[in-house]
Amino acid sequence: MTSDACEIALTWDEGLAPSATPGVEVASVRRSLVSGGMQRQRHGPHLVLVSPDLFGAKGGIARIGAAMAMAMGRYAVFHGGTFEAHALHDKAGARDHAFVPEPHGYWGYGGHRGALVRRLLLGSMRPTRQLVVFLHPNLAPLGLLSPPWVRHVVVAHGIDVWQPLRKDRQLALARARKVWAVSRNTAWYLEEVQGVAHERIEVVPNALSPAFALPSLDGGMKTGRPMLVTVSRLHPDDAYKGIDLTLESLATLPVDSRPAFTIIGDGPDRPRLEALSKNMGVFAQFAGQVSDEAMAGLFREATAFVLPSAGEGFGLVYLEAMAYGLPCVAAQAGGAPEVVIDGVTGLVVPPRDVGALAKAIVRVLGPEGLRFGHQGRARLEREFLYPRYELRVHAALDAALGD
């Protein structure tokens, strides 16, 4: 690794920078690794997953990280290797043994970046084939500090690679053996915006967690007032999710034919959205943050799911809606159209088009919606459950470890 790369890797922003002043410690460990001249030996690979969160958060990346940890651990066992998982923001002892059982290694750092850096560098002394998977591009510069015999994979989720990355992250992508994209749309941005060579990109679509229990479906039309449901963080930075757009679309419908609208999620933008709903005369139930059990109950009551987001790299929440047999309405943007198939599992509308969204809502609340919901559930069971995801991860690991 060049001195410039090392300097870049040690000057991250506050969101990823090692705490205190780790430069001397990291540099000394780095020199000891290089001077040791470690040689690879012929036995199973040592796999490492580095994630922002695994078991300390409920976000999409944490859920995918847990599923990936399970898949990587099973791959290591099958091939006679070893596996360990590192979660920057997890608290110590947060391990979920269902996903990372003993004897696999697991470390949570409670946000202590220096401790994560030190353990990764010391771990790279192993005289084995090593592959480190960074579950977010923002973590990828950690790989610039490791010895050249350690291979890296970086996972890109969508909006994180839509704009040109900083130099250290670009270098990390350039060094990576493979870059895994969660959708074809994300792969396009990696190639066209980040300059990643096409042959180094693998598309590894997301899936529902193995802990997700598929609900039974009654298969009939629901009675009573139709209900739309959506799930989103209510934050000004997430305005692209389209909650305001949905409210505007509902306001264009006749009052006596408007569905109920339940919004799951919370955040600092909630007062603005509540005021917007009131001013437009659209009744919306702001459910806030709810438990998994309460969310399941709301999905069972719902008639359709709507999230006309302009910034989804994939959209795990569409899969959750499909699990409950709900037709989905999404925007023709990002990776969402790869999950919600227009005219098959729901409807896809142009971004920010109030009229098109209103028409789509009316359609999915009618008989068409029942067909979309059934087809969505069938597609979920074919393509987006954990067993299929594990096969995709194992194939991608084969490609990353191959000569």
pLDDT tens figures, 85-98 = 999 999 988 999 99
Q: What is the pLDDT of residue 389?
A: 98
360 & 394 share domain:
no
Least Cα distance to 60 among 259, 339, 283 occurs for: 339
112 & 148 share domain:
yes
Q: Which two tokens stand for residue 277?
A: 């709903």
Would 216 be classed as within a structural domain? Answer: no
pLDDT band (50, 70, 90) for residue 1 = very low
113 & 202 share domain:
yes
Q: Which domain holds residue 197?
A: 3-26+37-207+386-401
pLDDT digits (tens, 9 = 90+) for 349-375: 999 999 999 999 999 999 999 999 999
89 & 191 share domain:
yes
pLDDT digits (tens, 9 = 90+) for 168-212: 999 999 999 999 999 999 999 999 999 999 999 999 999 999 999
CA distance 225 to 348: 24
User: pTM score, two decimals?
Assistant: 0.87
- What is the number of structural domains in the chain? 2
Q: What is the pLDDT of residue 220?
A: 66
308 & 172 share domain:
no
231 & 252 share domain:
yes
CA distance 194 to 27: 29
Q: What is the CATH number of the domain that holds 302?
A: 3.40.50.2000
185 & 231 share domain:
no
Q: Give how far Cα 258 sits from Cα of 143, 248, 284, 354, 365, Å.
A: 52, 12, 11, 15, 10
247 & 378 share domain:
yes
199 & 311 share domain:
no
175 & 296 share domain:
no
244 & 156 share domain:
no
- The CB density around residue 98, as the number of other CB atoms within 10 Å, is 12
Q: What is the pLDDT of residue 58?
A: 81
pLDDT digits (tens, 9 = 90+) for 276-317: 999 999 999 999 999 999 999 999 999 999 999 999 999 999
81 & 202 share domain:
yes
pLDDT band (50, 70, 90) for residue 318 = very high
**60-78 and 386-401 helices cross at what angle (nearest 10)?**
60
Would 160 be classed as within a structural domain? Answer: yes
CB of 323 within 8 A of CB of 208?
yes
Would 217 be classed as within a structural domain? Answer: no
Looking at the chain, the number of H-run helices and the number of E-run strands are 14, 13
- Sheet harboring 284-288: ordered strands across? 284-288, 260-264, 227-231, 304-307, 328-331, 346-349
